[in-house]
Structure 1
């Protein structure tokens, strides 16, 4: 009836504006009622009728925009909101909903501009403030992934200005601070995110990652378990908890969790990789390789699985074919394509000038590699061989600090590169004008082969950390010696072999080792054989030979120490295998990991004779054994990994303990065991013998190493390229550039921030208007 009155008034006087406005209000409200009742098209018709009566009536445009938004006709909706805002510049809801459309389109800057206009009109409009926080958070993630992490942090913080309890902004701040290695800040914001969103399992998971990296495994486990209490099938936390248990040697529960992660996410490539690590640590190399290959089927570029597969293959490689070399070579070719290479270096080609030698490794802490890199760091002639260390250590310890102090005191440079992208590290190497860059890791954990692939130095070398070729054509030389790699070796390498005059390693004993203890056989009345090598090296064939030895020496015992022996099933499987070979389980002592280095070294007091593994021989364990007075029986083979013990024992003066066959290996062990007095005398003289041998002569070793570096440099200056460089240029048809080197761009980091899920932004509701007075506003 009211609408009819307005219509009559307009027919009487079409220019009567109050009647037109009131009729438009009534028609708009009617349109809203029809729409809410399900008659959407009739509602739209009424909005259009309202605008025909009063083309300047903003709420009709606004409500048309809402309808078109719900119909997903966003261009029409945006046009209607814009008209509403044009007719009513103070229309906050219109600006807010325009922002929603722009945000959902990914036009975040436009969305933020709309929210700013909305809040300028209505500063306390909560929906707009919340929407602004969401848009700013998404913009922060966008710019962070584009490489500007500081600006991303700025946007996240600005988001919290608009919504101080917005958990996603807090979570993403945690991610950003983690990427910036500001882990204390990351912890704060993950904790806040979880406080304001107790269902944020991702925050708990990421907290666990930080605590795990800090070696606070109990706290990491607590965080992962909390994440799983929220999301029981959260594949990342299942996997991560499995990783922690693997590190702790709890193999059964670790395997169960990682398998659950795979069931929850069958395409979770890294879970298969981690399953491979677990199998490797438990000594099942064939299953480990299968798991790595399954990972590679899902993700052919998985760096972890690709390199772990190569490492695992060394444990069972006898050197009878070229399969292992081909696997390394093929990996190297594929990997090189991921990195652009420098082709010009500004290093002056002066034959005798002082050289700048760079060492890059994540293992400058109490790690096996550290016992062999200490001698060069200490004994280099820094006037002629300036040392620059690129340390990718995850968590520094006292040894890291000691190394750093020594290098700096001698005039060298120490750069901490943990967490820095490898292409950026390559830029650092070039800026430091490194002449010879030496990587010490190979295909083991946290390596920087990506940086080496960029070829930032004119001469590149691999040494110490890996017993085989890297397969990377960007590396020119591999340091070895004539016993570990005979001049007549048939083992192929991508790098050219450089043989040092004595041993390719120089061992610096731990000052925590403690004294040599008397031979336990003197008080026990029986011989104890032992090995502290990891379980992956103790292959079935090794166990067969060890069982032969133990069965041939009455009352003798075997002591084996490695991390997985804290797991009952691993212990039972190991003992069962030996029992099947004729050795009673009661004659075998299995020790889990010993954390303190002093206690670890003193554990050699439990054994009389050390038994080396094959075809992957011990390195650090062999040096430790000899230093603690325990002679070691080793076996020569056809590949480097098999012959490390040959080099070490020969240079210490125990070449007579090198076997050439399994039968000879057994006989050598039996001969040692047959004379307790001689064994005791050797034990008490072995440390002195080793200390005076080339294996511990840091000064002369470093002189030989420097001579090798100088020869490499001469060859570079004279254009005499190593075979690897020539082959690479031939295959890739590279021409050494005479112009400036290529520039390397920064990649997007592969860490996902938490994005706003669909539906976080809600379209503001309708605005039905009471038609009680002319010119009523909303």
Structure 2
């Protein structure tokens, strides 16, 4: 007996919903026998066979249906079959049955390979299933279909969802950039597309350390808006970080010309200075002029009424004082500018986030003087980075009976970094965050951290935003660049050498002086050297001076002193290493050398090496290391002293000008410490000419490994822990329980 049409179709649907595909297929086979001219029965029968994983039979059924009709109706048949499969695919997606949905959509692609929305759905399903790589963009011909002028009716929301997911899943694949470019003709709302590119390019540049890829991606946004401020700001940094210095400088100047507001102009001018200083060399005069302009802009900002800044602008202002100590050793004026900017920034951040600020202001930590203190370390440098190398001993030696240690890794590496993993395994609790300051601050608050230690100061604006909210009752800056000047920071860890006695009046933070040194390490790993004198065409009996610093630190006045040393020491050579524009830095040193009567043949410009361990090994080629001024080395100085190499440094009044001084004092070596330009040159010449003196210093440095507080991480940790406990006692005394 034949069932009524509506009855058997309802029954077939029930079988489908129940997963009984065999019974459903039987009904469709009976329907085909009764109504062979109704091709929809073939489409559904094929679907039931496909769901039974009888893919060949399914394809044969659909082909039979097609061949039983007229050829001119094939487009209509294709559309009908596509709709049947599309409906079931959507149902499966709603049920989160991604594997079946993916299979069905693969057959939609077989039927209609140009259905762009189906291809986009296939990509999303592949990402959910974990099988997607960027190569699939080519394998599915998605890029080719998007570029076809015949492709219309692209679901824009779907396209943007796929773009976001692709950029998250495989952003470094070359096909991803091609896919992004192919999206442009189909963009209906440019701001959505641009926002996706900005957010993801930032992640690529900073979390994945691929600034050049980020720049190429973000350049695509210029096709839709070539004067978009956010795009240009990010591109400026990407170009600079990728070593495309000229483009970075040009884009920074464009930013400055487009901005009308004073705070925005300050940030744009900071980007210009950043580009000029990173390129270094021939750009120095232009950088100095931009710095003078910068100081004028900052003072104008301070003269303005209290500002109501938007969240993005205020966070960016934090870093605009970064280059002050690179240009000049002026403790009073540099700190004034720094403190004023930090005060304005914290005020605006707290005004922009009143609820969070009010909540943290009511922190009710138990005022127990003998409790286990929760110490939180927040940094983006707990990885293969100078801060990461020198702060690890403190975390290694912490007394876990008295302290619970939390690490908040900001902008955590997505690539494998053994040192980052070491930190994660070393602490009681570790968090890998992106760049969301409010999220990180809230976690610190929820963890009930007693003392939050900021290792980065203003080198990452996100951390400055966190400390401005003050999610912990006590906040401390250690290492980093210098104190941030943020009113919410209570203490800045120093020692008696790294800042003079009179420095406190210039700091908003209380200077907490440790008894010997503000930093200590047990030592450094050393690799296999890659430098040889003969390969550099340097005679074996020559005197080799060495300087390894980034372009930021190459001040022309100091380079002149270095050339004067070289001039007075016969048979001497100068090895210069560090990131900068290669041609620019070479011309810069060559011009100064020739002006001082030194042949450029005595200069050697070295490329960066892949690993710090190799850099340390290569220090062995040097007889003397010449420090930079007004911004000394820090980790580089520690490495130099550890390797037993004599150092010449000039001491100033600011923190950045006294790092090498405190380290040398703490290893018991005063030979090479200069207080004037004349002394810097005198020490450089004397060390170059006196082999016995060099040997004596090397002996002292070797002996210091056993005696110096600089090489005793465990003792230093004890002094830091004493400081933390004393800070807590002071806090308890000044905030008694009500």
TM-score by length of structure 1 reads 0.64
Moved more, 213-222 or 309-318: 213-222
For 1:419-434, list aligned pairs within 5 A: 419-420=435-436, 422-434=437-449
- Is 2:156 the counterpart of 1:167? yes
- Is 2:572 the counterpart of 1:556? yes
Matched residues in 2 for 1:487 and 1:265: separation? 42
* TM-fit CA distance, 1:526: 1.7
2:632 maps to: 617
Q: Is the 8 A contact 1:490 1:638 kept in 2?
A: no
1:524 maps to: 540
SS in 2 for 1:275: helix
SS in 2 for 1:357: strand
- Superposed CA deviations along residues 447-477 of structure 1, whole A, max 9, x for unmatched, are 412111112211111110022x311111111
For 1:28-67, list aligned pairs within 5 A: none
Moved more, 292-301 or 276-285: 292-301
- Is 2:475 the counterpart of 1:486? no
Structure with bigger helix share is 2
Matched residues in 2 for 1:400 and 1:707: separation? 27
Q: 2:240 aligns with which of 243, 246, 260?
A: 246
1:122 maps to: none
1:314 maps to: 325
Change (3 A) 1:583 1:737: farther
Moved more, 702-711 or 485-494: 485-494
- Superposed CA deviations along residues 554-611 of structure 1, whole A, max 9, x for unmatched, are 1211111111142x23421332133223322221122243333233223323321111
Q: Is the 8 A contact 1:461 1:477 kept in 2?
A: yes
Matched residues in 1 for 2:487 and 2:425: separation? 34
Matched residues in 1 for 2:446 and 2:374: separation? 12
Matched residues in 2 for 1:455 and 1:231: separation? 38
Matched residues in 2 for 1:198 and 1:516: separation? 50
SS in 2 for 1:499: strand
Q: Is the 8 A contact 1:472 1:494 kept in 2?
A: yes
Change (3 A) 1:599 1:186: closer
* TM-fit CA distance, 1:307: 3.2
Q: Is the 8 A contact 1:279 1:288 kept in 2?
A: no
- Is 2:336 the counterpart of 1:326? yes
Q: Is the 8 A contact 2:171 2:204 kept in 1?
A: no
* TM-fit CA distance, 1:379: 0.3
For 1:655-666, list aligned pairs within 5 A: 655-666=670-681
* TM-fit CA distance, 1:168: 4.8
SS in 1 for 2:322: helix
2:513 maps to: 499
SS in 2 for 1:353: coil
Q: 1:534 aligns with which of 528, 538, 550?
A: 550
Q: Computing the radius of gyration over CA atoms, which structure comes out larger, 1 or 2?
A: 1
SS in 1 for 2:610: coil
- Superposed CA deviations along residues 103-156 of structure 1, whole A, max 9, x for unmatched, are xxxxxxxxxxxxxxxxxxxxxxxxxxxxxxxxxxxxxxxxxxxxxxxxxxxxxx
1:377 maps to: 395
SS in 1 for 2:458: coil
SS in 2 for 1:656: coil
State the number of aligned residues. 551
SS in 2 for 1:655: coil
Moved more, 591-600 or 378-387: 591-600
1:19 maps to: none
Q: Is the 8 A contact 2:374 2:451 kept in 1?
A: yes
- Structure 1 gaps of 5+ residues are 1-162, 721-735, 739-778
SS in 2 for 1:376: helix
SS in 2 for 1:601: helix
Change (3 A) 1:169 1:579: farther
SS in 1 for 2:205: helix
For 1:109-148, list aligned pairs within 5 A: none
Matched residues in 2 for 1:517 and 1:219: separation? 31
SS in 1 for 2:371: coil
2:63 maps to: none
2:385 maps to: 367
2:273 maps to: 276
* TM-fit CA distance, 1:303: 4.5
Change (3 A) 1:424 1:630: same
Q: Is the 8 A contact 1:170 1:190 kept in 2?
A: no
* TM-fit CA distance, 1:241: 4.9
Q: 2:451 aligns with which of 432, 436, 456?
A: 436
Change (3 A) 1:691 1:275: farther
Change (3 A) 1:598 1:565: farther
Matched residues in 1 for 2:533 and 2:504: separation? 40
Q: Is the 8 A contact 1:481 1:503 kept in 2?
A: yes
Higher relative contact order (CA 8 A, sep 6+): 1
SS in 2 for 1:672: helix
Q: Is the 8 A contact 2:374 2:404 kept in 1?
A: yes
Q: Is the 8 A contact 1:528 1:556 kept in 2?
A: yes
Matched residues in 1 for 2:336 and 2:671: separation? 34
- Is 2:466 the counterpart of 1:456? no
1:626 maps to: 641
1:15 maps to: none
Q: 1:215 aligns with which of 209, 219, 230?
A: 209
Q: 2:489 aligns with which of 449, 457, 475?
A: 475
- Superposed CA deviations along residues 202-233 of structure 1, whole A, max 9, x for unmatched, are 46676654443323445445435555577777
- Is 2:391 the counterpart of 1:399? no
Change (3 A) 1:703 1:375: same
Change (3 A) 1:587 1:199: farther
Q: Is the 8 A contact 1:371 1:509 kept in 2?
A: no
- Is 2:367 the counterpart of 1:349? yes
* TM-fit CA distance, 1:634: 1.4
Matched residues in 2 for 1:691 and 1:519: separation? 31
1:52 maps to: none
Q: Is the 8 A contact 1:626 1:690 kept in 2?
A: no
* TM-fit CA distance, 1:388: 0.8
Matched residues in 2 for 1:288 and 1:319: separation? 18
SS in 1 for 2:506: coil
Matched residues in 2 for 1:565 and 1:222: separation? 20
Change (3 A) 1:286 1:447: farther
Q: Is the 8 A contact 2:578 2:607 kept in 1?
A: yes
Change (3 A) 1:637 1:273: closer
Change (3 A) 1:503 1:518: farther
Q: 1:335 aligns with which of 345, 367, 379?
A: 345
Change (3 A) 1:547 1:303: farther
Matched residues in 2 for 1:688 and 1:519: separation? 27
SS in 2 for 1:665: helix
TM-score by length of structure 2 reads 0.67
Matched residues in 2 for 1:538 and 1:367: separation? 20
Change (3 A) 1:264 1:198: farther
Matched residues in 1 for 2:382 and 2:515: separation? 25
Q: Is the 8 A contact 1:273 1:304 kept in 2?
A: no
Q: Is the 8 A contact 1:435 1:457 kept in 2?
A: yes
Change (3 A) 1:509 1:253: farther
Q: Is the 8 A contact 2:530 2:618 kept in 1?
A: no
User: Pairwise CA RMSD of aligned residues?
Assistant: 3.7
Change (3 A) 1:737 1:648: same
Moved more, 682-691 or 388-397: 682-691
Matched residues in 2 for 1:599 and 1:666: separation? 29
- Superposed CA deviations along residues 513-535 of structure 1, whole A, max 9, x for unmatched, are 45899999996222111211222
